[in-house]
Structure 1
Amino acid sequence: MNKKLAMIGAGAVAGSVLLMSSVYAGIGGTPGYDTYKSAIKNTAVTVQNSTNKMNLTVEDNGKVLLQVNTTIKTGKDDKTGSADATLQSGETKQSIQYFNQGGKQIIKSGNSDVYKVLENDAGEEMRHESGHPDELQDPAFAREAENVIDALVGNLKNYVTLDEEGSAKEISLHLEGSQIPAVVNAVGSLIIREGGRDHGDKAQGKAADIFGLNLQTVHDSLPKLTDEIKIDAVNLGADVNADNLITSHAAEIRISGKDNQGTPHSVVVKLGMESSDFNSTTPDTVDLTGKQVENVKLSDEKTFQRWHRS
């Protein structure tokens, strides 16, 4: 569920992936690569919990179509966490709260007084099957993953820059036009085209049932690009503080294309995240005493996996 909300606040995760992969490709390369790699590793190892504020906006021809604001508080050691998210698409505003406490996952939407408690059997089994914690901590697996990323990124490492001001550091990546690799443009265009299609996915109905969110409204508000889709520019950045911790990320992706009526669109996706209160964050909790509670049984494990991973 933390992953679900993070992606709601992201989606534009593509930008972060590009930045992370670019940095990891910079072994022995530029100072920007080495600095960011060091900060990533140090943050992952030393930060046990933090407060992360994320914001996402999607603009089309100068008009804001979607705004998402999320605050996620993590409690790494005891697997606790909380999140508070708002989504604004057109005139429709939705919100959701999430709590992971005492072995329970609790969800409350802004348009309801009911707290839904998810039964964890399916979720625990899915997480055990994924095996990701052990794999990510395995040095051999990490080295192989890094080698794969190195091969995929190629010359993108040459565009990462480092700007130092005292003990603070700023890392940037700016790509536009022909600087953007053809494979990135091709994959990005395919994702944008397919994302705009209405697949009649039952997962949206499931999300409405569980989270109280009308994702169809969000989907309908976004531009549906079908032709001449192109990523025009990618701007990414990260700030590193004096303790060698990453305190912020920012991404901006500019996309152009036409819809099936031939109308041109200029789309700008912006994603930002500010991290603070390292190792001093306590996730929010909720006292269910006296509140309306509904226990939700996720009996269909495949359905659970779809909305948990999406």
Structure 2
Amino acid sequence: MRFSKKTATICAFVLGATILATSAFADIMIGSGYYSLKNSMKTTMAKLTSEVDNFSADATISLKIDGKVFAESTSNAKFDIKNKAKESMDKNFRKGELRENYWYSDENQSIYKNFDDGSYDVFEKRKYNNETNRIIENPLEDEQVKDAEKILDAFVGSLQDAIQVEESAGKKMYVGNLSETQIPPVVNAISSFIFKYSILDEWSAKNLDVPHPKSNIYLTKATGKAIENEDGIIESAIFTASMSAQDSKGIEHIYSLDFSIDIKDVNSTIVKAPNLDGKKVTYSKEGYEFDSKYIGKYKNDIVKEEDNSFEKVGERFIEITSVENGNVKGKYYEVYNAGYEADIVRSFDFYSNYDESIHFTIIHYTNDKGEKKKGIIHRTGSQNINVSFNVTIDEDNDGYSYSNNEDGFDNTFIRIFE
């Protein structure tokens, strides 16, 4: 178990655990506390993702069985919204082993530390449209989260006085406790389903070498506390939920899920790249699809259908002649068998520009009519390639898709080893 790189989503989940996890806090004192806490969550995520200059977040997720921790992740993250930089140190405990992860990212580079040997990998980033590229998105604006909010609103009124709201020195504290007898059957049913098939499904349980919750699953308790500061930001939150379940052998276990998060150093967090002087560093560019091992010759057959049979009439060849800094150069040509000469036998050189090839490698060439055209080349399998010529790239979709304008062209080329 480890944190997702989308730390914003984790923050939102942990901050909103009192609402989103099993509806434990789905009802507040005659509705006022519920909407106050929900609005505080929305304010928190809006400010952290777009209004403050920077902040830090420390988060922990822990899973226990019968009181013993079997998986735990901690994340100490720093976000510089203004300068689009972020840094995180993560620790993941699983199967009795502790692994550490460190990464740093800004507009120009991503840096990862290899804790096995202390070396670093530095990836130079592609040049995206940085005007709209934010380092952290507001997950509460996601359509699925908005739909979940509507479902949670439907529970208001079913769990009276689940949360107490206190206010002191400009801060609000939300405290909630639910015992087994206070949890409605519908909440138990939903939380049991999510726990069995999502949080700790059979594959995950086997992978973690822990008993899988098989039957008689129900929520035994849920407690939590969230503190909102003077600026309307939830600066800390703690949530715990416990479930009882029987494994495949009928043995009963208590599964506990703990969340905690602290938001701190708002507008005083400093994020900077690590000092790599004297370190072992491997430099590369982000998204290299090809390197020198792909230099070589590739081919496929030109096939024609005759008299209800397939006849090989020639061969197509791709030669990749150089790959430097992600830029590919090569040539394409056709060879026809005697008696099957084509009106036009194509042959041309092509090249790619690394900075242009954001989602796939775009190649440029000039066809037999002297027209400048574009194509696509990418890897398939371990050593073969796919090549398409005369393509139209969907610029309105940020170049994520393209269409091939050549019918009957086999775009799979097999590596030739001589």
* Matched letter for residue 148 of structure 1: K
* Aligned mate of 2:282, from 288, 293, 302: 293
Say if 1:293 and 1:2 are closer, same or farther in 2 by CA, change over 3 A.
farther
* Aligned mate of 1:165, from 164, 168, 171: 168
2:56 is equivalent to residue 55 of structure 1 = no
Can you list the C-alpha shifts for 1:54-74, whole angstroms capped at 9, x where unaligned?
122222112222232210111
Q: Which residue of 1 aligns with 2:242?
A: 254
1:142-291 maps to which residues of 2 (within 5 A)? 148-149=150-151, 151-155=153-157, 156=159, 158-194=161-197, 195-198=200-203, 219-288=207-276, 290-291=279-280
Q: In 1, distance between residues paired with 2:12 and 2:211?
A: 15
Q: In 2, distance between residues paired with 1:76 and 1:20?
A: 32
Say if 1:116 and 1:262 are closer, same or farther in 2 by CA, change over 3 A.
farther
On the 8 A contact 2:26/2:152 being kept in 1, the answer is yes
Q: Which residue of 2 aligns with 1:40?
A: 41
Q: In 1, distance between residues paired with 2:249 and 2:69?
A: 21
On the 8 A contact 2:29/2:163 being kept in 1, the answer is no
Q: In 1, distance between residues paired with 2:40 and 2:22?
A: 11
Q: Which residue of 1 aligns with 2:73?
A: 68
On the 8 A contact 2:174/2:225 being kept in 1, the answer is yes
Q: Which residue of 2 aligns with 1:305?
A: none
* Matched letter for residue 166 of structure 1: A
Q: Which residue of 2 aligns with 1:102?
A: 107
Q: In 2, distance between residues paired with 1:259 and 1:183?
A: 22
* Matched letter for residue 242 of structure 1: E
> Which is worse superposed, 43-52 or 232-241?
43-52
On the 8 A contact 1:22/1:157 being kept in 2, the answer is no
On the 8 A contact 2:164/2:176 being kept in 1, the answer is yes
Can you list the C-alpha shifts for 1:38-97, whole angstroms capped at 9, x where unaligned?
533443334332111112222211222223221011112333111101112343111101
Q: Residue 264 of structure 1: CA displacement?
A: 1.1
1:11-22 maps to which residues of 2 (within 5 A)? 13=14, 15-18=17-20
When the two structures are superposed, what TM-score results if normalisation uses the length of structure 2?
0.54
* Matched letter for residue 163 of structure 1: E
On the 8 A contact 2:29/2:162 being kept in 1, the answer is no
Higher strand share: 2
Say if 1:145 and 1:100 are closer, same or farther in 2 by CA, change over 3 A.
same
On the 8 A contact 2:31/2:156 being kept in 1, the answer is no
Q: Secondary structure, in 3 states, of the residue corresponding to 1:198?
A: helix
* Matched letter for residue 74 of structure 1: F
Q: Residue 253 of structure 1: CA displacement?
A: 0.7
On the 8 A contact 1:5/1:83 being kept in 2, the answer is no
Identical pairs, percent: 20
Q: Residue 27 of structure 1: CA displacement?
A: 11
Say if 1:18 and 1:133 are closer, same or farther in 2 by CA, change over 3 A.
closer
On the 8 A contact 2:29/2:164 being kept in 1, the answer is no
Q: In 2, distance between residues paired with 1:23 and 1:226?
A: 26
On the 8 A contact 2:22/2:187 being kept in 1, the answer is no
Q: In 2, distance between residues paired with 1:276 and 1:226?
A: 40
> Which is worse superposed, 99-108 or 7-16?
7-16
Q: In 2, distance between residues paired with 1:104 and 1:263?
A: 51
Say if 1:229 and 1:242 are closer, same or farther in 2 by CA, change over 3 A.
same
Q: Residue 149 of structure 1: CA displacement?
A: 4.7
When the two structures are superposed, what TM-score results if normalisation uses the length of structure 1?
0.70
Q: Secondary structure, in 3 states, of the residue corresponding to 2:203?
A: coil
Number of residues paired by the alignment?
275
* Matched letter for residue 29 of structure 1: G
On the 8 A contact 1:10/1:271 being kept in 2, the answer is no
Q: Which residue of 2 aligns with 1:204?
A: none
Unaligned runs of 5+ in 2: 290-358, 360-418
2:116 is equivalent to residue 111 of structure 1 = yes
Say if 1:27 and 1:197 are closer, same or farther in 2 by CA, change over 3 A.
same
* Matched letter for residue 112 of structure 2: I
